[in-house]
C-alpha cells in the first residue's frame, strides 16, 4: 500500500508539472495569436487606406481627363506672332518600367515643378507632401498629372473666360483631390515611421 501511494504521489507530481507546462504553452500561444490578430487588423486598415487612395486617384484621373478634353476646344492654336500659343503636354512617363537615366530625366522634370511651382505656390496643400514622394509611384503619377495640367493652363499666350473657368476647376477640385492622396500616401509609409521621433531619437525602419 505504501509503495502504491508513493507511486501515485509521483504520478501526481508529474501531472502537475505537465499541467504547468501546458498552461505556459497555452498562454504563449494565446499571446502570439493576439499579436497576429493585431497585425492582421493593422494590415487590413492599410489595405483599406490604399483602396481608398486608388479609388480617389481613379476619380481624379477621370476629372483630369474631362478637364483636358474641355481644354482641347478652348485653348488657342497659335499666338499673335504665329508661334505655338499653348503648352503641348509631354508624353506619358511609363513610371512602372523607367530605370537609370530615363527615370532620372523624367523625375527631374517633376521635381523641378514641385520645387519651383508646387511648394512655393500651394501652401498647406503642398506642405503635406513628404520628402520621400519620389519613392512612391502613386506620387509620381499624381504629380505628373498636376504639373502637366498646370503647364497647359498657365503656359499659354492668352486666357479666355473658358480657360479661366478651367483654371478655377483645377484649383478647387483637381489640386486638392490629388494633394490629399499624396499626403495620405507619404504620411503613412515606412519612410514616415523612420522620420517619426521615438524617445528623442529617430525610429529605425525594420
pLDDT one-digit tens code per residue, 150-175: 998 898 778 888 888 999 999 999 99
In a domain, 51, yes or no: no
Check residue 7 and give its pLDDT. Answer: 67
In a domain, 172, yes or no: yes
In a domain, 136, yes or no: yes
In a domain, 195, yes or no: yes
Check residue 6 and give its pLDDT. Answer: 63
In a domain, 168, yes or no: yes
Query: Considering its fold, how many domains does the chain have in total?
Result: 1
pTM greater than 0.85 (yes/no)? no
pLDDT digits (tens, 9 = 90+) for 174-199: 999 999 999 999 887 877 666 655 44
pLDDT digits (tens, 9 = 90+) for 50-84: 777 767 666 766 666 666 666 555 554 444 444 44
pLDDT digits (tens, 9 = 90+) for 118-154: 999 999 999 999 999 999 999 999 999 999 999 988 9
**Secondary structure string (H, E, C) spanning the chain:** CHHHHHHHHHHHHHHHHHHHHHHHHHHHHHHHHHHHHHHHHHHHHHHHHHHHHHHHHHHHHHHHHHHHHHHHCCCCCECCCCCECCCCCCCCCCCCCCCHHHHHHHHHHHHHHHHHHHHHHCHHHHHCCCHHHHHCHHHHHHHHHHHHHHHHHHCCCCCCHHHHHHHHHHHHHHHHHHHHHHHHHHHCCHHHHHHCEECCEECCCC
Q: Which domain holds residue 148?
A: 57-202
Amino acid at each position: 500500500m505504501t509503495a502504491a501511494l508513493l507511486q501515485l504521489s509521483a504520478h501526481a507530481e508529474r501531472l502537475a508539472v505537465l499541467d504547468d507546462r501546458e498552461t505556459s504553452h497555452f498562454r504563449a500561444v494565446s499571446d502570439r495569436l493576439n499579436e497576429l490578430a493585431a497585425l492582421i487588423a493593422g494590415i487590413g486598415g492599410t489595405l483599406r487606406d490604399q483602396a481608398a487612395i486608388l479609388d480617389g486617384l481613379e476619380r481624379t484621373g477621370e476629372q483630369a481627363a474631362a478637364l483636358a478634353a474641355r481644354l482641347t476646344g478652348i485653348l488657342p492654336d497659335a499666338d499673335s506672332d504665329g508661334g505655338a500659343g499653348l503648352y503641348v503636354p509631354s508624353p506619358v512617363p511609363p513610371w512602372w518600367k523607367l530605370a537609370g537615366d530615363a527615370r532620372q530625366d523624367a523625375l527631374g522634370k517633376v521635381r523641378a515643378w514641385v520645387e519651383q511651382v508646387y511648394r512655393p505656390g500651394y501652401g498647406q496643400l503642398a506642405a503635406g507632401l513628404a520628402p520621400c514622394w519620389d519613392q512612391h509611384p502613386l506620387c509620381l503619377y499624381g504629380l505628373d498629372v498636376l504639373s502637366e495640367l498646370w503647364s497647359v493652363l498657365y503656359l499659354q499666350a492668352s486666357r479666355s473666360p473658358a480657360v479661366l473657368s478651367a483654371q478655377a476647376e483645377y484649383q478647387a477640385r483637381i489640386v486638392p483631390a490629388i494633394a490629399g492622396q499624396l499626403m495620405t500616401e507619404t504620411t503613412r509609409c515606412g519612410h514616415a515611421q523612420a522620420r517619426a521621433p521615438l524617445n528623442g531619437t529617430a525610429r529605425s525602419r525594420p
